[in-house]
Amino acid sequence: MKKIILLVLLVVFAFSGCEKDDICDANTATTPRLVLSFYDISNSTVLKNVTRLKVVGEGMTEGVIFNASASGESKYLTSGNTISIPLKTDEDTTTYSFTFNSGNANPDLIFVDNVTINYTRNTIYVSRACGYKTIFTLNPTNAIVHTAEPVSSETWIQYISVEKTNIENENETHLKIFF
């Protein structure tokens, strides 16, 4: 009888540590990416598609993947009007190069702009299964630093507007880029 009671107690204790949140729900909000939308500089209310845009983070050897199902260089290119890119969760700045018309046979039609995003981070506990997420707040005095590459060339990005300083989700545009 003692062995049965001991076995029952052992089973109870074994399952008592399990909770329903031991699996992170796919709908749980995680660390948000920065959402950028591209607009026509001559009509600031009209979204404009970029042409073969490639975004590469500082220190990265490959670009941000926009088309996971594509192969080769195509997976790093987008021609849409809105993109989402990750920010570093272990630093307060992230720098990207934005290559417009990447891979064009004519090098005079390829333009590279560098954009540095400055922010503060706040790490928030989500749950035992999901761990932590980081939310970001853009620096109020110098959120964006924009330069061309090489420095002597003209920029293809004409203006960057900060729309939302708090980056807590991916449901809204944080930066508008006019070109």
What is the reported pTM?
0.83
- Cis preceding linkage at 150, omega within 30: yes
Residue with tokens 């399990």: 18
The one-letter code for the residue type at 9 is L
> Could you tell me the pLDDT band of residue 22, with boundaries at 50, 70 and 90?
confident
β-bridge pairing 159-162 and 175-178: antiparallel
Q: What percent of the chain has pLDDT over 90?
A: 76
Q: With respect to residue 4, please indicate whether it lies within any of the assigned structural domains.
A: no
- Asked if the structure places residue 160 within a domain, the reply is yes
DSSP assignment letter at 132: E
Number of domains in the chain: 1
Q: Is residue 23 part of a domain?
A: no
Beta strands in the chain (DSSP E): 34-40, 43-47, 53-57, 77-78, 82-85, 93-100, 111-127, 131-138, 144-149, 159-162, 166-167, 175-178
The β-bridge relationship of strands 144-149 and 111-127 is antiparallel
pLDDT of residue 171: 95
Could you tell me if 38 and 177 are in contact, meaning their C-beta atoms sit under 8 angstroms apart?
A: yes
pLDDT at 153 over 90: no
21 part of a folded domain: no
In a domain, residue 10? The reply is: no
Give a yes or no: residue 155 inside a domain.
Answer: yes
